[in-house]
Chain A
Amino acid sequence: MTTAVGRSVRLEIAATFASNKTVTAISLANPGVATSTSHGMINGTVGFWTGTGGGMPQLEGQATRVYNQSTNAFDLQGLDTTDYSAWVTGGTFTPVATWITISEAIGLTLGGGAQERLDDTKLHDVVQQDVFGVLPADTAQVDLLRQTVDGTAMAAIASASIRSTNLVWRATLHDGSVCVWRGSPSRPGLSLQRKQLATGGFQIAVKGLALACLPA
């Protein structure tokens, strides 16, 4: 275990995708295990899920990373599906083929914010009893030093923000551990201050969970 640091962190978005993988089952386990005949993917492959609404709707749109793969199966690294709805049928996994680095990024914050507290107090209680409600939506915040003209990655992000398109994101930390998520970015901002480099940033509304700190 190594303390994460904000250096040598590569933040990327997916640029192109490989062909969809048909998945025939996903276990209810930690982590969930997908069955996909001759999927051909290697460990570390990142992709996202679609068409899972028939059996495991919690997975719809979620990005996951392939781990512990075998010829016909792979783990959904870091994703606990134990309490998900049982898989019935359908579902595809679309793997990322190539990535673009967001070199302008100077900061990244991942998290879901404060969890809602629900009052579970009974008549006989002498103090209020609280329970946590459903998890708040995960979000990501990216801070930037803005360039005068957007590079490839920032142009793609700006375009996705206008069209509310979901992108697949990956942050690789200095020790090779990885965070992955999928979501749509807000419109990147720009702030100009005298005697400073231009800053900016955007937020990402995450589909499902942002999977942080996955071992390399």
Chain B
Amino acid sequence: MSAAHDLQALLLADTALTAVVGERIAIDQVEQGVERPYIVFSTQGVDKQLGLDGTLLGRITTIDIQCCGADRDDAITVADLVEVALAAASQDSDRGTTGYDADNGLEVEVVTVDWIET
């Protein structure tokens, strides 16, 4: 399993979050016209931590989680729940940029997680 799939499984297992977004938690892309709010995330980079002998000691995957809502409060609510779910799994996150997609009328809150696997 990739970090993205692990993250998806983690978020789908969080009942407080799925009470708001349902199962609309997708990797890389969502279908056109999907109901809001929803979550879509993409991997920005993978930093493999290798020992001198090549042993894989850990992997840090940076993932941008876009929390998309019909309005700002909607997006913030989802982002807050994502951060709580990540914290419960001992994965550190930061709040990234916020944005408004005028073409689609989307409010977006971005949560960035450095997903650490050891």
Q: Do A and B come from one complex?
A: yes
Q: A8-B53, A101-B53, A195-B60 are in contact. List 15 more A-B contacts (CB 8 A).
A: A7-B50, A7-B52, A8-B54, A104-B51, A104-B57, A105-B51, A105-B53, A106-B50, A106-B51, A106-B52, A107-B52, A197-B57, A197-B58, A197-B60, A197-B118
Closest 8 CB pairs between A and B?
A: A9-B52, A103-B55, A145-B57, A197-B58, A10-B53, A195-B114, A105-B52, A195-B92
Interface string of B90-118 (1 = CB under 8 A from A): 00100000000000000000000010101
How far apart are the CA atoms of A9 and B50 in the complex, in Å? 11
When distances are taken between beta carbons in the complex, the residues of chain B under 8 Å from A6 are: 52
How far apart are the CA atoms of A197 and B114 in the complex, in Å? 11
Set B53, B58, B92: member contacting A145, Cβ < 8 A: B58
30 pairs, A vs B, C-beta closer than 8 Å: A7-B50, A7-B52, A8-B53, A8-B54, A9-B52, A9-B53, A10-B52, A11-B53, A101-B53, A103-B53, A103-B57, A104-B51, A104-B57, A105-B51, A105-B53, A106-B49, A106-B50, A106-B52, A106-B57, A107-B52, A145-B51, A194-B92, A195-B60, A195-B92, A195-B114, A195-B116, A197-B57, A197-B58, A197-B60, A197-B118
When distances are taken between beta carbons in the complex, the residues of chain A under 8 Å from B53 are: 8-11, 101, 103, 105
Interface string of A103-135 (1 = CB under 8 A from B): 111111000000000000000000000000000
The interface on chain A, measured as residues whose beta carbon lies within 8 A of the other chain's beta carbons, has a size of 17
Number of A-B contacts (CB under 8 A): 44
Interface string of B61-99 (1 = CB under 8 A from A): 000000000000000000000000000000010000000
Min Cβ gap A162→B in Å is 24
How far apart are the CA atoms of A50 and B116 in the complex, in Å? 47
Which residues of chain B in 27-68 are interfacial with respect to chain A, using CB atoms and an 8 Å cutoff?
49-55, 57-58, 60
When distances are taken between beta carbons in the complex, the residues of chain A under 8 Å from B49 are: 106, 145, 197
How far apart are the CA atoms of A157 and B93 in the complex, in Å? 35
Which residues of chain A in 127-181 are interfacial with respect to chain B, using CB atoms and an 8 Å cutoff?
145
Q: Are B52 and A108 in contact (CB under 8 A)?
A: yes
Min Cβ gap B53→A in Å is 5
Interface string of A2-15 (1 = CB under 8 A from B): 00001111110000
Given contacts A145-B57, A197-B58, contact A103 B51 (CB under 8 A): yes
How far apart are the CA atoms of A8 and B53 in the complex, in Å? 4
How far apart are the CA atoms of A194 and B58 in the complex, in Å? 15
How far apart are the CA atoms of A108 and B53 in the complex, in Å? 11
When distances are taken between beta carbons in the complex, the residues of chain B under 8 Å from A7 are: 50, 52, 54
When distances are taken between beta carbons in the complex, the residues of chain A under 8 Å from B55 are: 103
Closest Cβ neighbor of A197 among chain B residues: B58
When distances are taken between beta carbons in the complex, the residues of chain A under 8 Å from B92 are: 194-195
How far apart are the CA atoms of A146 and B56 in the complex, in Å? 13
How far apart are the CA atoms of A9 and B52 in the complex, in Å? 5
